[in-house]
Structure 1
Amino acid sequence: MERYYAEVLNYISRSVGCKEKAQNIVQEAYLRILNHKKNNPNHDSTQQRALFFTTAKNIVIDQYRKKRKVTEEAELDLIAPADFEPESKLAAQQQLKQLYQCIEQLPQKTKQAFVLYKFKNLSQHQIHRK
């Protein structure tokens, strides 16, 4: 199998476009084949070259699928973030209601200063002048 290493490496390098990634993939393929041979001593080893190529190619495909799945999940978050789920929306509304109730319980001047500072983005100096 060692004699096919360079050939498989060149093939995978062209597929993934990165020599380092290709080396990692080919090494992983080599290890998988060795483990398979160890666990299956009666395995037919006449097609080692084909097995090496196929194993390496399957690893590339698996990595592509994992990457695509992560990307799709991230895109779904962009399309429909968790904030738009009914439970999240209800929880946010309840928190907002509690906040308003707390603000209403403040003394008038404190409430006015809080609203001007937090909601109108006025500085303390600007609030003092009002």
Structure 2
Amino acid sequence: MAAEAVPDLESVSRNFRPALVAFFSRRVRSHAEAEDLTQEVFVRLAQSGIGTLDSTEAFIFRIATNLLRDRARRDQVRAAYRLSIEQDDALNTDILDPHRVIAARETIGILWAAIQALPEPTQQIFILYRVENIQKQTIADNFGYNVRTVEKHISRALMFLTRRMGGRS
């Protein structure tokens, strides 16, 4: 029986290989993938256990369609797995290395020292506006200043801190 199947499979291959390669080429990225899938159709056809290979075109293309579906499912599972791994890595990885943490703490210390060096009303106004996010009008009302005076204090504080911090970022 195996001796009979080989010539039948060869003739089916000669008749359907170009059509199958064209079928797969329209649906996959590369010609090599199309060739691999075509070969897989003939492997499945040989393994199907059909006594004679007078297979109809519909049966051969049903195998081809099923291969494409299997490939799509496999690609979908792999993509979902890759995404889950990336998400797990993002959750378990500390993006802050110790050197950056130490450098940031030093910069904050220098900034805080510079803020402490500001004259008293400018320091308070700057902290209320930039740290506490209180509106300029509210600050002006509490200090008995007009809004333009509060803006000048904030501007002076920013210029002073910029000079004091130098090129640090």
Task: Give the equivalent residue in structure 1 for 2:28.
Answer: 27
1:97 aligned partner, one-letter code: G
Higher RCO structure, 1 or 2 (CA under 8 Å, sep 6+): 1
Distance 2:90 2:136 in 1: 38
* TM-score when normalising by structure 1: 0.53
Gaps of 5+ in 1: 9-22, 37-45
Task: Give the equivalent residue in structure 2 for 1:16.
Answer: none
Of 110, 114, 123, which residue of structure 2 is paired with 1:111?
Answer: 123
Change in Cα spacing, 1:49 to 1:98, as seen in structure 2 (3 Å) is same
Q: How far is the alpha carbon of 1:81 from its aligned partner?
A: 3.8
The alignment of Structure 1 onto Structure 2 pairs a total of residues equal to 102
Of 73, 78, 96, which residue of structure 1 is paired with 2:91?
Answer: 78
5 Å-filtered alignment, 1:1-130, equals 1-4=17-20, 26-28=27-29, 31-33=31-33, 47=39, 49-50=41-42, 53=67, 57=71, 61=74, 64-65=77-78, 68-83=81-96, 85-130=97-142
CA contact (8 A) 1:117 1:124 kept: yes
Q: Aligned with 2:103: secondary structure?
A: helix
- Could you tell me the percent identity over the aligned residues? 22
Distance 1:110 1:50 in 2: 83
RMSD: 4.0
CA contact (8 A) 2:129 2:136 kept: yes
Gaps of 5+ in 2: 1-16, 44-63, 143-169
Q: How far is the alpha carbon of 1:111 from its aligned partner?
A: 0.9
Distance 2:40 2:123 in 1: 78
